[in-house]
Structure formats: structure tokens, C-alpha cells
Amino acid sequence: MATAIDSDQKLHLVFGGELQDLDGVRFRDIKNLDIVGIFPDYATAQAAWRAKAQATVDSAQTRYFVVHLHRLLEPQVP
């Protein structure tokens, strides 16, 4: 059975929403965050992030982020 340490998956979460202000990362309504998905590698996550960011370019308050889940799951692995 493979462990998380043995896995070569580099999971990434893409999500976003409307920020309270442009100077921070505090969401206006966390119940309505847009969870785009979890992706198997950074390149795929970046493509999803880029598509969502470009689709919301007219909304200055809306931001999307890529979270490196693999770093949270395996903090000792670079």
C-alpha cells in the first residue's frame, strides 16, 4: 500500500471569490467561494486558474488562487 510520502501526486486546489478589499485576502462571503477543483499537478491547476481569472477580469474584487495541497499533506517533502 502506497503512503502519501511515496506518492508522486502534487495535488493543487483552485478556488476564488470576491474579496472585501484589494489590499488583503479576506473574502466577502466565504459561503459562496467558487471551488474550481483539485488538480493532479501545478500545470493543470494553473490552466484552470488562468481560465477562471480571465473569465472574471471585469470584476476587480474577484480573485482566484492556487493552493499547493501537497505541501500541506507532506510538509517535509520539498
Q: Is the confidence at residue 2, as pLDDT, over 70?
A: no
Mean pLDDT of all residues in 12-28: 91
Q: What is the pTM of this model?
A: 0.80
Q: Is the confidence at residue 35, as pLDDT, over 90?
A: yes
Query: For all residues of the chain together, what is the average pLDDT?
Result: 86
Contacts of 11 (CB under 8 A, 6+ apart): 38, 39, 40, 69, 70, 73
Please report the pLDDT score of residue 23 as a whole number. 84
Please report the pLDDT score of residue 8 as a whole number. 72
Exposed e or buried b per residue across 53-66, where buried means at least 16 C-beta atoms within 10 angstroms of its C-beta: eeebeeeeebbbeb
The count of other CB atoms within 10 Å of the CB of residue 19 is: 17
